[in-house]
Structure 1
Amino acid sequence: MCDQRVGELILLDSMFPKQCQWDDPSVGQAVSEQDYEFVYGKALEFTFQCDKHLDIICTLGVDYPKTTTLSGNGIHVHCRVLDGRLSNSVQKTLNDRVGDYLSSSNNGSTDTDTGLDYDIISVIQKIQELWTDLDSIKLLANNTSSYNCPANGGDHASNDTNQTLGGNNNDDDVEDRDAGISRYWIYSHHIKSTKKRQLIIDLARELHLTGFTCVGKPGFICVEGGHRYCEQFWQQIRSLSWQRITLIDTERHLPTAPGGSSDGCGLAFVDYHELADTAHMFRLLEANKCDSVVKNFLGFTTN
């Protein structure tokens, strides 16, 4: 019987690489090896490093996810502010807000058949939001150039945002670089993991990107849409554990409708979906007259 806690932590680690410290090395090894059969028979403890200013100390009881209640054997989290320049009231305020969120989201045990009101990943993401919302933290961020707290997308997505907004770039520079419709072509040695495949689909749809995942060996991913969202997708996907993954081509400045709206113009696909094999992929690409990138990458002759 598998331990669902470990499955969630594998996903958490793939979303936020190198931000989890495991109290028990055997848990860390299971997560690193993506061992979904690993069973841990006691409370599972780890520390999530939000950034250099904040640690989130997490405990998942043996009854999680059957219950998420704080008073039972569910989730327990404690936020620890590490920066000495911040008063103790900041830590207390943050922990109070986290407690309010957990209490309002779940007032007791929740059976897994009906679904949980939250899980450890959503709790950590909510804490990141609360952390960045604190006025004192915003003040510190304005006075500390190295400050960086990822929010809802992991460290890669946040670093990409900082590169876009930081430095001496003015608003026009940012708008010019991020504007327009792009198409990203990604090759992977293989795409087989069910959880990883679902994560790819969910992320693409969350960012309003169209395209496809071609599963199997080799695997291909194509996404198209707003350039900054294609780039965010790539940065988050590449941070997962892969034997090999490569961005093989990007198509920038695809045609848009008058006024800058995409309205489907320049887009080859109407939604994001999964393809069973390369035969299905080539039929789709040929039908949409956009098969040259993959064929050139594989060494096929194109007319």
Structure 2
Amino acid sequence: MSTSTATSAETQGTPVPVLSFSPIVLPVPGRPVDLQVRVSAPATGAKLPVILLSHGHGPSNNLSSLNGYAPLAHLWAAHGFVVVQPTHLTSRTLSHLVADAPGAPDFWRSRAEDMTHILDRLDMIERTVPQLAGRIDPTKVAVAGHSLGGFTAALLLGAGVNDPDTGSVVHLAEPRIKAGVLLAAPGRGGEVFNGPMAEQWPIIGAIDFSTMTAPALVVAGDKDDSRHFTDMGPDWHADPYTLAPGPKTLLTLFDAEHGLGGIAGYDAAETTDENPERVAALARLTAAYLHTQLHPGAPTWPNEQKTLTTGPDPVGRVESK
């Protein structure tokens, strides 16, 4: 277990130490390897809400696992959230173990089911992490995901997917999840899903956002041009907002590329738009959005939105429906 002191990017109150504990091992029948998770939590506070954080794919080994996304996980925990990070079967840390397992290589169904397994055993996780027992509010749960993790979050929030193997539409919505954040998530399929990687990842183009009814904040970088999947340009990553029913909010980050400033890891070489200030602002805005969604009437989101997206040097723009 490691302890570190939160930085100055807190949404509520004074910075508090953050505890991180891993791995917690959850045996899952039928899963080719046990499910391992990391938990990051504030050292103080009670009735803490939970964020399930789904990692992306990416070229690194450990950023696509419970060991990634420290810049977000730490700052969210400093904001008063318990952040739970699974290692999905798509993680490069597991590729030598699961390459031939059913569902490879995208494991789209397993990724969503990982979050349900975590919620089913949230009380056990709470008891396992030192100093956390009795401090979680299991009725206040959100999901967040980056890139492929945004696809996973969309499914948990109600999006359907046309299973390429059966041709049937599958819904994996998790009713215990009350709201979500989609970070640089994939967009629509169809004619615009025409990049060189589209044939290798057909499941991404099989999503249907029309049933994603849960509240969500969609975060898109205005320089995130994913040509390997589409020629639609950065607007493709706004599709989970554009094509889903409300209530939805779109945060467009100025000058941000797919890494959104470097959320996947500190000083990661593949971050093409490294900007610690952007990451801190994004952490504040996403924490504020989820705080207000999980505590209806709280002014956290409107306050942070006004602070960071208006004035002479906004980090982005916000629209809602």
TM-score scaled by length of structure 2: 0.25
| Structure with bigger gyration radius | 1
Greater RCO (CA < 8 Å, at least 6 residues apart)? 2
TM-score by length of 1: 0.26
